[in-house]
Structure 1
Amino acid sequence: MLEVKLHDIGEGMTEGEIVHYLVKEGDTVKTDQPLVEVQTDKMVAELPSPGEGTIKEIVVSEGKTVQVGTTLLLIEGEGGSSQEEESVQEETPSPTATKELTRKRMTTTINRVLATPYTRKIARENGIDIEQVPASDPSGRVTEEDVYQFMNQDQEPVVEETTKVPVKETQPDEIPFRGVRKQIATKMTKSLYTIPHVTHFDEVDLTRLMELREELKADGISVSVPPFFVKALVFALKDFPVFNAELDEENETIKLKKDYHIGLATDVEDGLIVPVVHDADQKSIHELHDHIKELNQKAKEGKLAPKQLKGSTFTMSNVGPLGSTGATPIINYPETALIAFHKTKKRPVVNDQDEIVIRQMMNVSMSFDHRVADGATAVAFTNRFMSLIENPSKLMLEMI
C-alpha cells in the first residue's frame, strides 16, 4: 500500500489546506497524475501520484488543514498488494488486467479550469460543476462572481418570453480565514511586531520616462513602467546596500546581500503574494518587461512555482494602477525595506524657472527597518532612485 503524504512543497512550509481531490476512491491512477490540490501559504499546488494503482482510501477530507507528513490517501498497486511500502513495486499485469487498466485510463478524463480554492468551494457548496461555468476573465479564470452569475441564471424564473425577473445575488456571510489570507496575517503581524517601521514619503516626476515610453512605442517597442523601476532600484541598492540586507539579531550582524532579487507585491483574488524577479541586475529592461509580465500572469492563474515565490531581497509594490495616492506599507519580513509606487497624475508644478508647468507626478512611500537604517539614509536612497527615473538618460548610462 502506497501512502501519499503532504510533503514540503517549498519555503519550509509546515502545514497545508486540502482544497480539492482530483480523484475518488476506486479510481485508477498512473505515476505523476495530479491527485489533490493543496493550499500553501502562497499558492495552490497539485500533488502528483508517486506510482500506479487504485485509490484505496481518502484519509483526510477536503477543507482540513494538516501538518506536513500527514497521510492524505492510500494507493493500492494493480496486483492488489497490501504491503506497507514507500514506493510501488514493478509488476507485470496479466493481459486481462492490462486491457482493463487501459480501458479505465482511456475513460478517465480530468478537466481543469483556472479558479481559486475559495471559488471552487462556492461552486461545490452550491452543487455547481465549475467546469460548466463560463469565465468572464480573458485568461479563462473562473471567479466567484462567475459562479454566482451562473447559479443565478439557473434559478431565474421565466415570467414571459422577453421578460426576466432579476434575482438577488447570494453573497456569503462569512469568509474563511485560512490559506493565503491567514498566512498573510501571520507574516504581517510578525513584521509589525518585530520591525520598528518608519515610512518616508516623496514624489517623482515621471514625465520624461513617459515620453521615452511613447518614443519606444512609436518605434514598435512596448515596455511597461515597472521594469524601469526595478532597474533603478537595483542601482540605488548598489549605492545603499543597507536596504538590500537582512538583520540577524541572534548573531548581531546585518547581512548585506550580494544578489538583487526584487519581490513584486501582487494583488490576487485570495490576497497578496510576492513573486520574485531573481538576478534583476543581470536582466535588461526588455527582459525585465517580459519576466514581470510572465510572473503577473502566473500569479493570476495560480501557477507560480515555489522557486518563483522565494528569495527576495527587496520588495516593491506598484499600487498606482489601483488608484492609491499613499500608504504606509508593511515590510516583507525579514527584508529591510519596501517601496510602494502610487497613482501617477498630471499636476501643476513650479519648475526651476518659477514657471507653472504640467508634469506627470507619482507619489512614493518607503517603509524601512529603523534598527538597520536611519531616515537620512532612506531619503538619500529615494533621491538616488528618483534621479534615475526622472532622468532616463542617466539610467541608460548606468547600464552601459
Structure 2
Amino acid sequence: MVDVKLHDIGEGMTEGEVIHLFVKIGDHVAIDQPLVEVQTDKMTAELPSPAAGTVQDILVGQGDVIEVGATMVIIDNGKSETIKNVKREASIQKVSSSTNDSMAENVAISRSNGPRRILAAPHTRKLARTMQVNIENIEGTGRLGRITDEDVERHASGISVLSESAASTASVEEPVTHSDESGYDDIPFIGRRRAIAKKMAQSLYTIPHVTHFDEADVTDLLKLKATLKELDADFTKGYNVSLAAFFIKAIAIALKDFPIFNARLDEERQVVRMEKAVHMGLATDTEEGLIVPVIKHVERKSLLAIHKEMKDLIKKAQQNQLKRDEMTGSTFTISNVGPLGSTGATPIINYPEVGLMAFHKTKKMPVVNDKDDIVIRSMMNLSMSFDHRVADGGKAVAFTNRIIELLQHPEIMMLDLK
C-alpha cells in the first residue's frame, strides 16, 4: 500500500484546498498519473501518483482544506505495507456544514441574471480549448457549479444533463444563488478567491502598512517610448517596449541604493535579510483572480529582455499555465493599474516582502515649470506601500524620489546598461 500525502509544493506552504479529484475508488492508475488537484495561496497544482496500482481509498473530498503531510489517497500497489495514522478527521477541516453542502449541490440548477464566474480547473479549461468549446456556455454540474471534464464532453456532443444530485433535489431545496427578488446573490468563496483572501489578511494583519503617495512627470518617458515605436514601424525589431518594463528597470536600479526594500524580515532569527538579486513580482489580474508571476534577476536584464519576459509571463498567467518557479521567490512587487484607470490606491504588500509600488493612470495636466511658465505635462501618480517595522518614512520617500528621477529622465537608465 502507498499513502499519497500532500507535500510542500511551494515556499513553505502549510495547507491546500482540494479542488478536483481525477480518480475514484477502484480505478487503476499508472505512475505519474494525476490524482488530485490542489489550490494553494499561489498556484494550482496537479499531484501525481507515485506508484502504479489500484485506488484503495480516497480520504479527501472536493473543497476540503488539508494540511501538508495529510494522506489524500491510498494506492494498492500489490505490496503489504501497513497503513498508519490514516484518519480523515485528523487532517481535514471541512469547508462547509452539511447544510452548505446540500445547498452547494444545487448551484448547478440556479443562475443569476448577471454575468457568472466560471469555475473550472485548468485541465478542464484546456480540454474545452482542445475541443473548441466556449466554456462560458457550459452549465457546470460539479460542486458549487464547477464545470467538469464530463460537462465539457457532453456540451461538445450536444447533450445537456444535470448532475444526479442536483436533479434529485431540484424540487425541494433552495438554490445557493438567489433571484433578484430576494435582494442579493451568493457566489462561491472557494479556490483561488479564498487563497487570495487568506494571503491578503496575513499580510495586512502581520505588516504595519504605510503608503507614501507621489507623482512623476513621465512626458519625456512617453516621448522615448514613442520614438522607439517609430524606429520599429514594421514590428520586427521588438523596440516597442511597454511602460511597465521601464518601471521595473527603474525600481531595480533604485534598489541598489535602497536595498532595505529588497528584503524580508525574519522575526524568528531577528534579522532583516537583504536580498542581492532582484526578483520582480508582477501583480496580474486574471479571470480566476490575482496572481503574481515573477521575473528573476531583473538587475541583470535589459529593458527589452524584461519586456519580452513580462509579456510571456502575463500571457501564461491569463491562461493558467505558469510553472511553480515562475510564481515564487519575488523580492519586490509592482502593480501597474494605470491601464485600468486607477488614479490612486493603498496597495497591500505581497507578504513577506517589504515593499510594493503601484503605478497609476497618466493624465495630461497644467504644471508650473522652473521658469514659472504653465505647461502641459503627462503626470502619473505612484503609491509605495512599505513595512514600517523594517523601514521608516524618510527611506520610503527617498526611494520613491530616486524612482521618479529615473522615470522623469529615462536617459539616466542608460548609465546602468551592462
| Class of the TM-score when normalised by the shorter of the 2 chains | 0.7 to 0.9
Which amino acid counterpart does residue 131 of structure 1 have in structure 2? V
Candidates 207, 210, 213, aligned match of 1:198: 210
Q: Distance in 1 between matches of 2:326 and 2:409?
A: 31
- 1:284 CA drift (Å): 1.2
What is the Cα deviation at residue 384 of structure 1?
0.8
Letter of the 1:215 partner, please give it: T
1:259-298 superposed matches below 5 A: 259-298=277-316
Tell me what 1:30 maps to: 30
Q: CA 1:84–1:175 in structure 2 vs 1: closer, same or farther (change >3 Å)?
A: farther
Work out whether 1:84 is the aligned partner of 2:81: yes
Structure 1: how far apart are the matches of 2:184 and 2:54?
Answer: 37
Q: Aligned partners of 1:127, 1:256: CA distance in 2, in Å?
A: 43
The Cα offsets for residues 11-44 of structure 1, whole Å up to 9 and x where unpaired, read as: 1222211111223344333222222211112211
Residue 14 of structure 2 is matched in structure 1 by 14
Partners in 1 of 2:70 and 2:267 — Cα distance? 34
1:122-164 superposed Cα distances (whole Å, 9 cap, x missing partner): 45255964425999xxxxxxxxxxxxxxxxxxxxxxxxxxxxx
Kindly provide the CA deviation profile for residues 75-114 of structure 1, in whole angstroms up to 9, marking residues without a partner as x.
334xxx252389xxxxxxxxxxxxxxxxxxxxxxx97424
Aligned residue for 2:256?
238
Structure 2: tracts of 5 or more residues without a match: 84-121, 129-135, 157-178, 233-238
Q: Is the 1:341–1:364 contact (alpha carbons within 8 Å) kept by the matching residues of 2?
A: yes
Deviations 1:19-74 (A, max 9, x none): 11223344333222222211112211111122223334333222222222222223
Alpha-carbon distance, 1:326 to partner: 0.3
Aligned to 1:53: 53
Aligned length in residues? 339
CA RMSD after TM alignment: 3.1
| Code of the aligned partner of 1:263 | G
Q: How far apart in 2 are the matches of 1:115 and 1:395?
A: 45
Distance 1:243 1:359, change over 3 A: same
* 1:58 and 1:72 in contact (8 A); partners too: yes
State the secondary structure of the residue aligned to 1:113.
helix
- TM-score, normalization by structure 1: 0.76
Matches within 5 A, 1:363-378: 363-378=381-396
Q: 1:2–1:85: 8 Å Cα contact kept in structure 2? A: no
Give the AA of the match of 2:384.
M
1:1-400 paired onto structure 2 within 5 Å: 1-77=1-77, 81=78, 83-84=80-81, 112-114=124-126, 122-125=140-143, 129-131=150-152, 173-220=185-232, 221-400=239-418
Name 1:107's counterpart in structure 2. Answer: none
Change (3 A) 1:75 1:340: same
User: Aligned partners of 1:208, 1:130: CA distance in 2, in Å?
Assistant: 53
Paired residue for 2:236? none
For residues 35 and 23 of structure 2, the distance between their equivalents in structure 1, rounded to whole angstroms, comes to 6
Contact 2:127–2:152 (Cα < 8 Å) also in 1: no
Q: 1:367 to 1:76 in 2, by over 3 A?
A: same
How far is 1:185 from its partner? 2.9
Aligned-partner Cα distance in 1 for 2:342–2:275: 31
Code of the aligned partner of 1:72: M
Separation in 2 of the partners of 1:256 and 1:343? 31
CA 1:219–1:6 in structure 2 vs 1: closer, same or farther (change >3 Å)?
A: same
The 3 A distance-change label for structure 1 pair 357 and 114 is farther
Q: Is the 8 A contact 1:329 1:340 kept in 2?
A: yes
Preserved contact between residue 139 and residue 151 of structure 2 (Cα < 8 Å)? no
Structure 2 distance, partners of 1:20, 1:251, is: 38
Q: Deviations over 1:309-356 (max 9, x none)?
A: 222221111111221110111222222221111112222323223333
What amino acid is the match of 1:285? L
Query: Which whole-Å deviations, capped at 9, do the CAs of 1:287-329 have from their partners, x for residues lacking one?
Result: 1112111221222222222222222221111111221110111
Write the letter of the residue equivalent to 1:9: I
User: Could you tell me whether the CA contact under 8 Å between 1:115 and 1:301 is conserved in 2?
Assistant: no
CA distance in structure 1 between the aligned counterparts of 2:385 and 2:214, rounded to whole angstroms: 12
* % identical aligned pairs: 55
Distance 1:227 1:123, change over 3 A: farther
Instruction: Give SS of 1:36's match.
Output: strand
Aligned-partner residue type, residue 47 of structure 1 = L
Unaligned 5+ residue runs, structure 1?
87-109, 136-166
Deviates more, 1:122-131 or 1:368-377: 122-131
| CA contact 2:140–2:151 (8 Å) conserved in 1 | no
1:348 alignment partner AA: P
Q: Distance in 2 between matches of 1:235 and 1:115?
A: 43
Task: Name the TM-score, length of structure 2 as normaliser.
Answer: 0.73
Indicate if the aligned counterparts of 1:16 and 1:179 stay in contact, CA closer than 8 A: no
